[in-house]
C-alpha cells in the first residue's frame, strides 16, 4: 500500500505538471484533527482548473493515479441526480487499498470553494490566487441544538412511523416493516441520542457520519440497548427491536426535554405504545372480523 506521503507526492506532482490545474485543496477526515487516523481514510482532493472540457472529453488522464478496483463518476450516472453543478468528481478505489475522491472545480469558483468547508486546507496555489484559510476545524459538523419545534417533530415522526412497522409485521410484510424501522424510525432515535450527547458536551462535538462515534459518548447500557435494536429477519425479533427502540427513544427524549425545558409528548407515547401492543397481540385471523 502506498503511504500517505507517497499519495500526496503523486497528487501534487500531477497537478504541478498540468498547466490547467492551478491549485490543490484537501478536506475530509485527513484534515480533521479530531478523527483517528487509519489506512481506510480517503484522500478528499480538489483540483481547481482553468477549464473543464478537456478533462471531461477523455477520462484517461486519471490513469496516472494508479490501478483501480472500481471507480464511480456520479455526475455521469443515470441512477443519481447530479448535485455538483459545474463540478465533476472521480471516486477511485485503488488495488493497493488507497482511495481518492477527486473533484474538479472551475477556477472561477475559487472564492466559494475556500469558504464552503472549514475542514479545507490548501496544498498548492500556483498563482497565490486563493484567500487565506483558517486552520481546519470540524465545527460545521458539531451536533446542533434543536428548537422546540424540531424536537417535537422528531418525536412525532418516531411514533407516527412506528405504526407502519406494526402494520407491516401483522401483514407478514417483513421488507416493508424493516424498511420503515431502519430508514425512518431508527434515524429519529439516532437524532435524539445525538441531541443527548450534544447536551452533555455543550454542543461542541461531532458524532460523525451515520453516528459512527456515538459509542464514545453513550453509557454502556444505552449502547448495548441501541445495538440490540438491530434484529434479524424473524418477525418476533423485529417486534422486539421495535419495542426496544421505543424504550430507548422514550428515556432519551425525556432526558433531552428535561435538559432543554421542552415538553415530552406523553400522549403520543402512551397511545401509540398501546396501539403497537394491541397490533402485536392481534390474531392473524383478526381480519375476518373486519
What sections of the chain are H helices per DSSP?
4-17, 53-57, 110-116, 148-170, 174-180, 186-200, 220-227, 235-260, 266-281
Query: What residue spans of 103-145 are helical by DSSP H?
Result: 110-116
What is residue 287's predicted lDDT score, i.e. its pLDDT? 66
* Model confidence pLDDT, tens digit, residues 133-144: 999 999 989 999
Straight-line distance from the first to the last Cα atom of the chain, in angstroms, rounded to the nearest whole number: 65
Q: In this structure, what C-alpha cell is assigned to residue 247?
A: 424504550
Q: What is the pLDDT of residues 184-216, one digit of tens each?
A: 999 999 999 999 999 999 999 999 988 999 999
Q: How do residues 114-161 score in pLDDT, each as one tens digit?
A: 999 999 999 999 999 999 999 999 998 999 999 999 999 999 999 999
Helix axes 266-281, 148-170, angle to 10 degrees: 10
Strands of 95-138 (E only): list them.
Answer: 99-106, 121-125
Q: C-alpha cell of 249?
A: 427513544
Averaged over 169-196, what is the pLDDT?
A: 96
Contact 165/180 with Cβ under 8 angstroms? yes
Query: What's the CA gap between 265 and 287, in Å, rounded?
Result: 31
- Separation CA 259–CA 195 (nearest Å): 10
Q: Which helix (H) or strand (E) holds 26?
A: strand 21-27
User: Which pLDDT band holds residue 288 (cuts at 50, 70, 90)?
Assistant: low
Residue 252 CB burial class (10 angstroms; 0-12, 13-18, ≥19): buried
Look at residue 67 in the predicted model and tell me its pLDDT: 96
Q: How far apart are CA 99 and CA 7, in angstroms?
A: 10
pLDDT tens track for 244-276:
999 999 999 999 999 999 999 999 999 999 999
Residue 92 host element (H or E):
strand 88-94
Phi and psi angles of residue 256, each rounded to the nearest 5 degrees, phi first: -65, -45
**Burial level of 253, CB count in 10 A (0-12/13-18/19+)?**
buried
Across the chain, what does the average pLDDT equal?
Answer: 93
CA distance 277 to 282: 9
200 grid coordinates: 452533555
Amino acid at each position: 500500500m502506498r503511504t500517505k506521503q507517497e499519495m500526496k507526492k503523486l497528487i501534487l506532482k500531477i497537478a504541478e505538471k498540468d498547466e490547467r490545474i492551478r491549485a490543490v485543496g484537501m478536506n475530509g477526515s485527513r484534515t480533521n484533527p479530531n478523527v483517528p487516523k487509519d489506512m481506510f481514510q480517503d484522500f478528499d482532493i480538489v483540483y481547481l482548473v482553468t477549464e473543464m472540457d478537456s478533462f471531461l472529453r477523455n477520462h484517461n488522464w486519471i490513469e496516472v493515479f494508479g490501478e483501480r478496483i472500481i471507480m464511480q463518476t456520479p455526475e455521469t450516472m443515470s441512477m443519481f441526480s447530479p448535485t455538483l453543478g459545474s463540478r465533476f468528481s472521480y471516486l477511485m478505489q485503488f488495488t493497493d487499498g488507497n482511495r481518492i475522491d477527486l473533484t474538479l472545480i472551475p477556477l472561477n469558483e475559487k472564492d466559494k470553494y475556500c469558504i464552503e468547508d472549514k475542514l479545507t486546507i490548501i496544498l498548492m496555489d500556483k498563482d497565490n490566487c486563493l484567500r487565506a484559510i483558517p486552520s481546519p476545524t470540524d465545527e460545521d459538523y458539531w451536533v446542533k441544538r434543536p428548537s422546540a419545534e424540531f424536537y417535537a417533530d422528531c418525536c412525532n415522526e418516531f411514533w407516527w412511523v412506528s405504526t407502519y412497522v406494526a402494520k407491516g409485521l401483522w401483514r407478514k410484510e417483513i421488507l416493508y416493516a424493516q424498511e420503515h424501522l431502519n430508514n425512518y424510525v431508527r434515524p429519529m432515535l439516532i437524532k435524539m441520542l445525538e441531541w443527548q450527547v450534544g447536551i452533555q458536551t455543550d454542543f461542541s462535538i461531532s458524532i460523525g457520519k451515520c453516528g459512527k462515534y456515538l459509542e464514545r459518548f453513550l453509557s454502556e447500557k444505552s449502547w448495548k440497548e441501541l445495538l440490540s435494536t438491530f434484529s434479524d429477519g424473524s418477525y418476533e425479533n423485529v417486534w422486539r427491536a421495535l419495542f426496544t427502540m421505543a424504550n430507548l427513544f422514550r428515556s432519551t427524549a425525556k432526558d433531552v426535554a428535561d435538559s432543554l425545558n421542552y415538553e415530552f409528548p406523553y400522549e403520543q407515547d402512551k397511545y401509540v405504545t398501546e396501539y403497537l401492543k394491541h397490533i402485536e397481540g392481534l390474531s392473524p385471523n383478526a381480519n375476518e372480523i373486519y
